[in-house]
Amino acid sequence: MQAALRALANERRVRILDWLKDPVAHFPRQIDGDLAADGVCGLLIARKLKVSQPTASEHLRVLVQAGLIRPKRIKQWTFYRRDEARLKAVKKALGSL
């Protein structure tokens, strides 16, 4: 739970989670991987955040470690999707505080 709270304490990471809620509305089509089924390429997330790839990768790493998103490798790319079950559990735990 502590990792999730730390992840959610950053505005950019919250924005990433919001975008990943409806990836088709927020990102262009990808050559590899379906936006909804496979997730969004980390490169597209970096571009949308207007940060370098290493900076975006760090934000994504924190979200993965917190269990809020799940990575999926396709070819040489990593795609990210929300973990809805984990997000629901975090929201429930926060509501009970």
pLDDT in tens, 30-88: 999 999 999 999 999 999 999 999 999 999 999 999 999 999 999 999 999 999 999 99
- Identify whether the C-beta of residue 42 lies closer than 8 Å to the C-beta of residue 56: yes
pLDDT tens digits along 34-46: 999 999 999 999 9
Place of tokens 């929201």: 91
Q: How confident is the model at residue 95 (pLDDT cuts 50, 70, 90)?
A: confident
Q: CB neighbours (10 Å) of residue 64?
A: 17
- Whole-structure pTM value: 0.93
Domains in the chain, please, with CATH?
Answer: 2-84 (1.10.10.10)
